[in-house]
Structure 1
Amino acid sequence: MTNSNALKVLLYADGSPHSLSAAVYAASLFSNLPDMQLTILSVEESVSGAIEREYNLLETWSSNHSSVWMGHVMNKEGTQEEAEYSEILTVTNKIFARRGYNVNRQIIYANYNIPDITKAIIDYAAKKHFGLIIMGTRGLSNLKGLIYGSLAHNVLNKSDIPVMLIKKLPQDFIDEYCCLGDEE
């Protein structure tokens, strides 16, 4: 049963260290707001338009996290970037699953550029009536960043829904928070 007064929070996860910081922050928020409904959103590249796939993170994690869920998320094989992405997503999953938080996982597909991803995130959040979007910030230092700005700042500036931007947390804080459930 879901509480109709619960805060619906959308956490954007792109597999970066900054999105891990946002996940740790969202998990700490979750522990203080037990009625919070959290959905972790990822965007995958697609040139054929928006498609949505939803998974319950707690059910998927406890059944077979490495082959079932990761198979849906990962499209490339064998790259260093994929290994880092996979590791961060695994840690993100553990943060919520170990604590028994009922978290949904949503994958949407969009053209892989900042304006289209921004639109996809905002459209999904509005369509599903989220009350808050949480994102990690890292900014872009290349030409793309100068032209479009960062994804997080684009979402912040274009969204009618409140957006909470989380800077990268100190690594020792992240490590300590991620290990909290190990001794349980």
Structure 2
Amino acid sequence: MTQRVRPVDALIVVDVQSAFVTGGGAVPDAERLVDRTADLIARARRAGSVVVHLQNDGPPGAEDEPHTPGWELHHPVRSGPTEKVIRKPHDDGFQDTELGAVLAGARVRAVAVCGVMSEMCVQATARTALERGYRVVVPYDAHATQDVPAAPGISGVVPAAMVSRVAAYALGSDAETTVPTAAVMFTAPGTS
């Protein structure tokens, strides 16, 4: 049986957009990531938790350029009082967005963060959540990234799974990063 962690009252789904989880540009093992993030979303909704889908606005010509097929969110959104989409111009989902206000307005205390890319937008968003005093859970099997290319004379290719693990580990001991998706529990804000 999987050990459970204390419930969180919000889920932040980072950049699970078509460009990153389908086709030739998909992260390795994208199917697993999509399954895990879908499970988290479904369980958060059932519990009445806040669900925020972050959507990266890439620059012109990027695979996630706004209003292109790659920019579209992969998971369907049920917009309403506890679920919303927040577009973001930077790696950090809090920077120049309403994410902080949304979480504060709902009286959120603990967040689970999942999505792509582990060492960029997932880590930056989780780090700011920690700095703002939230309890942060980053399930190890619900975030992903690409392989890091070889650097001649320094290293070979660094596998994506290793990059993801190091990115989460770099958040330090204040983030809960050694739990699987199945261990994450949800609750409505104000009930824990």
Tell me the TM-score normalised to structure 1 length: 0.46
Report which of the two has the higher share of helix: 1
Tell me the TM-score normalised to structure 2 length: 0.45
